Amino acid sequence: MGNWLVNHWFSVLILVVWIGLNVFLFVQTFLKYEKSDEYYYTREILGTALAVARASARCLNFNSMLILVPVCRNLLSFLRGTCSFCNRTLRKPLDQNLTFHKLVAYAICIFTAIHIIAHLFNFERYHTSQQAKDGSLASVLSGLSHHEKYGGSWLNPFQSPNMTVLYVTFTSIAGLTGVIGTVALILMVTSAMEFIRRHYFELFWFTHHLFIVYFLCLALHGFGRIVRGQTKDSMKESHPHKCAQSFEKWDHHDSHCRPPQFEGNPPESWKWIVAPVILYIFERILRLLRSQQRVMITKVVMHPSKVLELQMTKQGFSMEVGQYIFVKCPSISLLEWHPFTLTSAPEEDFFSIHVRAAGDWTENLIRAFEQHHSPVPRIQVDGPFGTVSEDVFQYEVAVLVGAGIGVTPFASILKSIWYKFQRADHNLKIQKIYFYWICRETGAFSWFNDLMISLEQEMEELGKVGFLNYRLFLTGWDSNIAGHAALNFDKATDILTGLKQKTYFGRPKWENEFSTIATAHPKSVVGVFLCGPQTLAKNLRKCCHRYSSLDPRKVQFYFNKENF
């Protein structure tokens, strides 16, 4: 736990501040509506449900203000570049943008549920008090709107006993926008589930854009002014502490208390969300303008295991290692954008991506480029955007773990290192790289064989054989492959990859790997980078915490995972 806090204290601080602000806003607003004299008469009808509804609404506004910020990718890339000189712990929250986005979304769902339940109680009590004929204060307050002499200053939105809860819900601004906004929220949240997002990405992509409907409904929700309080002028003439007990005499000409006047709360939701919405609009405009720039496809390579490599150029395109881009192919879909990690190095005069068939869109893209007789499809590119892999050169020792196509960001890193060695770059802080690549199929290893062979040769020529320690793991094999590899084990190069390092069968034993690295680098800061599944992330994160020393002068493992 201590090691974890050392590595993540700033992220924890942000989380604590966020939770604290939610608690503060809820309690402050609750007490205001539960104790304030301005809402004394409103509480006579609604009770505590009034304060609960308003407190949850305030927290709902606060979180709706935050929800768009973590997905403003250009803003995050700018902050990452600005904070490049900062401590890695201070940059860590930028890598958790999608996690924070999800946390805020969960908070919105919780406060929406509380708000709806509280208002269901409110509407029921409004309805009950309007039908009551017992002469109670609640019934008198509900009947104020029927008397012209009260200036039409109503408190109960149910204007007559015949009005039903369902009728007011679907005919009032607050009710209708609340229903539509809630439906949009439910669709967004359910379609964002891991299973749907991975297997039906188009459904997730299109449904998530209902956030426009959600924000529109949120901005309009308060214009119905259903929640009403006593006016300031009326408070001076008829303060509830003096006049509430003598409400039967409000109509008497000799009474010092006049019927109270009420006004609706001015809408405030739009004030919370206007700034982030404007920021997000600028973000989308920038992305739109950048995506319209012409992209030239200079080379197309079909690799084994249905992997497509595209090499491209674009005017003004500048990248760093480990960054990613969004790609759209209008001939396949006019709206869909998909993220891909760049596999090229900043030193190259082109940028490239590797696309594996993992769904309808990627299969259609690969199929379109396989058809040599047809013209090359037009590609639009937005980006690049920063990721945690940009920090790889900030560590003395780096552990790179790629699973399948997840090797792509590390291809960019390894290529860049190759170019830096070619230029004899003496400013390279990193002294050792441990590279693990886990694949199911033997054909996958051929994607970057040429790069790995070039790196092997370069390290030998420069006398830095120990700089790159790489291990390739094959998790899917049959007896023929294993037998063939065993018979040729004594050969200088691996029978499967052509590399000097032999291929391992099975999965890495991470406990042993981390123990070995910790022993070899007792005083180093080790950056662990993963591009792979969540189950692997959990194992690596545990190992980072277990093998990091509480003494900051000794070995420290920092876990980093690609998120986009």
Q: What is the pLDDT of residues 485-531, one digit of tens each?
A: 555 555 656 655 556 666 777 788 888 888 888 888 888 888 888 88
Task: Confirm if 389 and 425 have CB atoms less than 8 A apart.
Answer: no
Model confidence pLDDT, tens digit, residues 292-315: 889 999 988 887 777 888 999 998
**CA atoms within a 13 Å half-sphere pointing along the CA-CB vector of 58:** 18
**Predicted local distance difference test score (pLDDT) of residue 150:** 46
Q: In what helix (H) or strand (E) does residue 2 lie, and over which residues does it extend?
A: helix 2-35
The overall longest dimension of the chain from CA atoms, in Å, is 112
Ranges 359-363, 377-381, 473-477, most confident: 377-381
DSSP 395: S
Domain boundaries, the chain: 2-242+259-284, 294-359+377-385
Model confidence pLDDT, tens digit, residues 368-427: 888 766 778 889 998 888 877 777 888 888 898 888 777 777 888 888 887 877 776 667
Task: Confirm if 467 and 432 have CB atoms less than 8 A apart.
Answer: yes
Give the whole-angstrom CA distance, residue 78 versus residue 216: 28
- Dihedral of CA 342/347/351/356: which sign? negative
Other CB atoms within 10 A of residue 346 CB: 16
**Predicted local distance difference test score (pLDDT) of residue 388:** 77
Strand-pairing partners, residue 434, are 399, 469
Q: How far apart are the first and last CA of the chain?
A: 27
Q: Which of 24-33, 248-257, 539-548 has the lowest mean pLDDT?
A: 248-257
Which tokens go with 119?
């208002």
Model confidence pLDDT, tens digit, residues 104-153: 999 999 999 999 999 999 999 988 888 877 778 888 887 776 454 445 57
Q: Which of 262-271, 398-407, 435-444 has the lowest mean pLDDT?
A: 435-444
3-state secondary structure of 303: strand
Please check the confidence at residue 84 and state whether its pLDDT lies above 60.
Answer: no
| Superfamily of domain 294-359+377-385, CATH level 4 | Translation factors (2.40.30.10)
DSSP 239: -
3-state secondary structure of 501: coil
Model confidence pLDDT, tens digit, residues 168-191: 888 889 999 999 999 999 999 999
Mean pLDDT of the chain: 82
3-state secondary structure of 356: strand
DSSP 389: G
Residues 6+ apart with CB under 8 A from 491: none
Which tokens go with 275?
């700034």
Closest CA to 407 of 307, 539, 499: 307
Q: At what angle do helices 97-131 and 49-66 cross, to 10 degrees?
A: 150
